[in-house]
Chain A
Amino acid sequence: MQTLLRENTISMSLTNEKIKERLVEKFGDIVSNFEEPYGMLTFEAPKDHNLKVMQFLFDDPELRFQFLTDLQAVHYPLYPGRELAVVYHLHNLADNVRIRFKVFTDISQPDVYTATKLFSAANWMERETYDFYGVNFVGHPNLKRILNVDEMDYFPMRKEYPLEEQTRIDKDDEMFGRGGTIK
């Protein structure tokens, strides 16, 4: 493995344009919304194609995105039909390029195929994402809550659960300056 990384430094550096070209060549219209916020290539695909795209990124001899850096979800309550985004950060260690890959899903049917077959690291990351956002990873070997208690019956990071209002006055703790008499 040591030699592997070293020999790859000789290979031509992988640019964002090249990755985009390879992806469009392979998938056509399926991959869309290419952006480069702060230099990181970001794109999305329909949720049914997430594994196909990642498998291609993993296997292709030029791309080789074989390291899953991070996986998480984001909740956009204002985008109907695209409320939940699952975001994958992938890293090609040999050429040292990172990309960000997103799939959007409807919140009423948040089924996304699991990446655990491809990356063992995805196991807990997907459990965490399920725990906080309720994304149902289809095919996950052990999809249950990881950080929250098992009895919890909601997904706390969704935007419909705001944090406690800082100025609320219904609490009876006069020691903290909130007054004790208001009912």
Chain B
Amino acid sequence: MSVDEHIKLPEGSIEKQTTTLNLGPTHPATHGVFQNILELDGERIVSAEQTVGYIHRAFEKIAERRPLYQITPLTDRLNYCSSPINNMGWHLTCEKLLGVKTPKRVDYLRVIIMELARIADHLICNSIVGVDAGAYTGFLYVMQYRELIYEIWEEVCGSRLTTNIGRIGGFERNFNDTAFRKLEKFLAEYPAVLKEFENLFTRNRIFMERTMGVGAISAERALNYGFTGPNLRAAGVDYDVRVHTPYSSYEDFDFIIPVGSTGDCYDRYLVRNQEMYQSLHIIRQAYKKVQEFKGKEAEVFHADVPEYYLPEKEDVYTKMEALIWHFKIIMGETDIPPGEVYMSVEGGNGELGFYLISDGGRTPYRLHFRRPCFIYYQAYEELTKGGMLSDAIITMSSLNLIAGEMDA
């Protein structure tokens, strides 16, 4: 008996064998404004076409009219799950162009902030993968520790999500005691929380079956597609900017780079989880190093770059020189030395690069952001083809796609 005898369809009702589904741009499962035009055969994906650019804000163009320090808030809005890394990446780019050498204490404080940001980023990504697999508890459970990370940032810079943290040469102010106390609290409590989070997912049979073999990519294809960060490492390539081209004194720390083998959603989840442990390990070392500074050295929180680092406000009112620098910086009247520099940092979801060309004017001649998820999102069709619709949702969240970063 053939299938046709069972299914009696009205004549001419279905001429097209596949269904077109618009996933996005405001679909609740896409966590951001992306559109996927999926061609479905039943529940299997035949092809996918991605449309991006819904929140394009022309940051690269805007940056061509701004002095360096005013570009920092633009970088906040790239990957807003870990904006301190973007801020630091931008400061490091400027410092490389200007030839500024930052003191060790600044480097270590930056490492603490950046690794906290990495934890916050991975935390969101992994718990959202859980949510998309149908497990909400983990997401709610870890959220209070992301809150604690935000509180630490708040103590340091005054804001939480779009942080605008740090300045060219260092930080805008020294870390206060509350920040360190909250950091200690985080270091003490978070490992147990992470363990509990892993207990919920790592050996959870439903979670494993939903993620294993889903959205897999081979190492060769991942490299060809320009994958970086946890997504590349899950495919088995041990490339990490922190190790390959250390910045901000990452060479002083002892940590390992977790790698996966299959490049599927499950491996991406495992790699991110292990990286959170490694980040905690780095923060502990960095905090210890910070505490070793005594006396005058313990007060250092910025390099001596009067041309770019805003002077203390009380000095502005009382000292002539500080007033001049303050005025020149605020009005953007400092000429940037000409040069061409590429600097990259290990962002939450891959290699975040800044390509800055200066022609000697007051603003960049050209600034390009290498946004990791813009580059690897184009592999989405290859990752999801032949899979189920619900797998496509999990793959999307497990790639850690951030619309703000993608559209710049």
Q: Is the CB of B61 within 8 A of A119?
A: no
Q: Is the CB of A120 within 8 A of B379?
A: yes
Question: Shortest beta-carbon distance, B330 to chain A, in Å?
Answer: 14
0/1 interface trace, chain B 210-237, chain A, CB 8 Å (1 if under): 0000000001110111100000000111
Question: Shortest beta-carbon distance, B96 to chain A, in Å?
Answer: 6
Q: Is the CB of B224 within 8 A of A146?
A: no
Q: Is the CB of A38 within 8 A of B341?
A: yes
0/1 interface trace, chain A 61-105, chain B, CB 8 Å (1 if under): 000001111101011000000000001010001001010100000
Among A2, A100, A146, A162, point to the contact of B53 (Cβ < 8 A). A146
Q: Is the CB of A121 within 8 A of B378?
A: yes
Within the assembled complex, what's the spacing in Å between the Cα atoms of A125 and B408? 13
Taking Cβ atoms with an 8 Å cutoff, the residues of B that contact A are 52-53, 56, 58, 60-62, 64-65, 96-97, 219-221, 223-226, 235-239, 244-245, 259, 261, 339-342, 344, 351, 353, 355, 357, 365-366, 368, 370, 374-379, 407-408
The verdict on A163 contacting B61 (CB below 8 Å), with A2-B236, A37-B340, A72-B368 known, is yes
Q: Is the CB of A69 within 8 A of B237?
A: no
**Chain A residues whose C-beta falls within 8 Å of the C-beta of B224 in the assembled complex:** 119-121
Give 30 A-B contacts (CB < 8 Å), ordered by A residue.
A1-B220, A2-B219, A2-B237, A40-B342, A42-B340, A66-B223, A67-B226, A69-B351, A69-B370, A70-B368, A72-B355, A72-B368, A74-B357, A93-B223, A93-B239, A96-B244, A96-B245, A120-B378, A121-B225, A121-B226, A121-B375, A121-B376, A124-B377, A124-B378, A125-B375, A128-B374, A147-B52, A162-B65, A163-B64, A163-B65
Taking Cβ atoms with an 8 Å cutoff, the residues of A that contact B are 1-2, 5-6, 37-38, 40, 42, 66-70, 72, 74-75, 87, 89, 93, 96, 98, 100, 119-121, 123-125, 128, 132, 146-148, 156-157, 162-163
Among B61, B220, B344, B374, point to the contact of A124 (Cβ < 8 A). B374
Contacts between the two chains (Cβ within 8 Å), count: 101
Nearest first, the 8 A-B pairs at minimum CB distance are A121-B226, A1-B219, A147-B53, A147-B56, A70-B370, A72-B368, A124-B378, A37-B340
Within the assembled complex, what's the spacing in Å between the Cα atoms of A116 and B223? 14
Question: Shortest beta-carbon distance, A78 to chain B, in Å?
Answer: 10
**Chain B residues whose C-beta falls within 8 Å of the C-beta of A74 in the assembled complex:** 357, 365-366
**Chain A residues whose C-beta falls within 8 Å of the C-beta of B225 in the assembled complex:** 120-121
Q: Is the CB of A157 within 8 A of B52?
A: no
Q: Is the CB of A89 within 8 A of B65?
A: no
> Chain A residue with minimal CB distance to B260?
A2
Q: Is the CB of A100 within 8 A of B245?
A: no
Within the assembled complex, what's the spacing in Å between the Cα atoms of A146 and B339? 29
**Chain A residues whose C-beta falls within 8 Å of the C-beta of B378 in the assembled complex:** 120-121, 123-124
Within the assembled complex, what's the spacing in Å between the Cα atoms of A164 and B239? 42
Q: Is the CB of A148 within 8 A of B56?
A: yes
**Chain A residues whose C-beta falls within 8 Å of the C-beta of B344 in the assembled complex:** 69
Which of the listed residues B96, B245, B341, B378 has the most CB atoms from chain A within 10 Å of its own CB?
Answer: B378
Question: Shortest beta-carbon distance, B60 to chain A, in Å?
Answer: 7
**Chain A residues whose C-beta falls within 8 Å of the C-beta of B374 in the assembled complex:** 124, 128
Among B97, B226, B259, B342, point to the contact of A100 (Cβ < 8 A). B342
Within the assembled complex, what's the spacing in Å between the Cα atoms of A132 and B366? 12
Q: Is the CB of B239 within 8 A of A147?
A: no
The verdict on A38 contacting B238 (CB below 8 Å), with A121-B378, A124-B374 known, is no
Q: Is the CB of A157 within 8 A of B60?
A: yes
**Chain A residues whose C-beta falls within 8 Å of the C-beta of B259 in the assembled complex:** 2
**Chain B residues whose C-beta falls within 8 Å of the C-beta of A146 in the assembled complex:** 52-53
Within the assembled complex, what's the spacing in Å between the Cα atoms of A128 and B366? 15
> Chain B residue with minimal CB distance to A2?
B236
Within the assembled complex, what's the spacing in Å between the Cα atoms of A93 and B379? 20
Question: Shortest beta-carbon distance, A154 to chain B, in Å?
Answer: 13
The verdict on A38 contacting B355 (CB below 8 Å), with A93-B239, A120-B225, A124-B378 known, is no
Question: Shortest beta-carbon distance, A76 to chain B, in Å?
Answer: 9
Among B58, B353, B375, point to the contact of A156 (Cβ < 8 A). B58
Q: Is the CB of A2 within 8 A of B238?
A: yes
The verdict on A38 contacting B61 (CB below 8 Å), with A2-B237, A93-B239, A96-B245 known, is no
Within the assembled complex, what's the spacing in Å between the Cα atoms of A123 and B224? 11
**Chain A residues whose C-beta falls within 8 Å of the C-beta of B219 in the assembled complex:** 1-2
Q: Is the CB of A1 within 8 A of B237?
A: yes
Within the assembled complex, what's the spacing in Å between the Cα atoms of A163 and B65? 7
Which of the listed residues B58, B245, B375, B376 has the most CB atoms from chain A within 10 Å of its own CB?
Answer: B375
**Chain B residues whose C-beta falls within 8 Å of the C-beta of A147 in the assembled complex:** 52-53, 56, 407-408
